[in-house]
Amino acid sequence: RALAAGEAGGRLFLATELIDGEDLATTVTRHGPLAPADACLAAYQACLALQHVHERGLVHRDVKPSNLM
């Protein structure tokens, strides 16, 4: 959920709620590579999320494992 948006120091920002849990990068670091089926599921879920924001006219611009919960 978005909590605030604005401009600070000439840069736009969007502040979102903190989601408790472990990101994908941490999971892979701790446990090693995902099984192929789990990797496909993670990619599929990320694609669904990106489609959701795209349909609302937004762009994420920083998709990476440490930003996937």
Angle 67-68-69 from CA coordinates, rounded to 5° = 120
Tokens of 66: 């440490």
CA distance 69 to 20: 9
Would you give per-residue pLDDT tens digits along the chain (69 residues)?
889 999 999 999 989 899 999 999 999 999 999 999 999 999 999 999 999 999 999 888 899 999 999
For residue 58, which amino acid is it?
Answer: L
Looking at residue 5, what is its pLDDT?
94
Q: What is the pLDDT of residue 2?
A: 87
Establish whether 23 is a catalytic residue.
no
